[in-house]
Structure 1
Amino acid sequence: MQTTGTDNLQRALDRLQAAGLRPTRQRLDLARLLFEGCDRHVTAEQLHGEALAANLQVSLATVYNTLNQFTTAGLLHEVVVESGKSYFDTNITDHHHFFMEDTGRLEDIPADSIVVENLPQAPKGTRIARVDVIIRLAPDDGSAH
């Protein structure tokens, strides 16, 4: 079944309202770009480029603000791969990631593929909310290790 632009708009509107976010034009436009299709990982710069390509008038600062609002509202997870480099993940279920260092691509690893044991005790007054594992990959040069 083919979805229409109206269907995508309604899904974006429903998602924003369920998260308690006011559905401004810019939030709706960015939500439509982010959430149509399959789960994905995007940087603010990538999403800004997609918005410009779709003739949406939105600043990079607005894209950053919106991604942070969506993350706070639970619509996205932020995955920090290094200082100053974050991806926003539309898959908000518990899972982990491969990070391809040469291309900057992020790929999901199912949560049940990794077992994390012997976690340290959380400091007094805190609890462990989530454990994120990022496995960094480099091209295989063919040499034995």
Structure 2
Amino acid sequence: MHYNNIKTAQSGWVSLPIIGLLLAVASISSHYQETLMASYQWRGKLKAAQEEQRFWTGFEQTFVLSANFSQAFSSQCAGFCDLSSAQYGLQEQIWQGASDQPLIFYQWHTFTETEQRVSHRLCASQNQRQYRCWWWRDEQVVATGWVTAGSERL
């Protein structure tokens, strides 16, 4: 009878290391799955960022690198009007680099300070709220940046 008690006690000790090993493997597996999921999410974000960069690059090549200032509308404000101005809504045009790319709404404007000093602004947007803008003075790009419609005072 004494022999059965020893065997029962030993089998309990054998199962504890196995349970510990299973918990360790489960923990490692869970950590691996989390890391793998984070990697997939990162790749998705990276791909989206690369796609966005691709169409902005296409827009810049078409409009910024070979700027055609004759397409610009004359500004009716002292300086440039707000992008959300009703006047500008009628002058907004649409560009799409490729059929799989989103539509880009853009506006060209010219402001003549003096005969010798002319400024141009090109603003483009996907959502007509946040615009990526480029400013030229005397046909040289002097600034670029993001503007939220209705918040700028230029």
Normalised by the length of structure 2, the TM-score is 0.23
- Rg comparison, structure with higher value: 2
> More strand by proportion, 1 or 2?
2
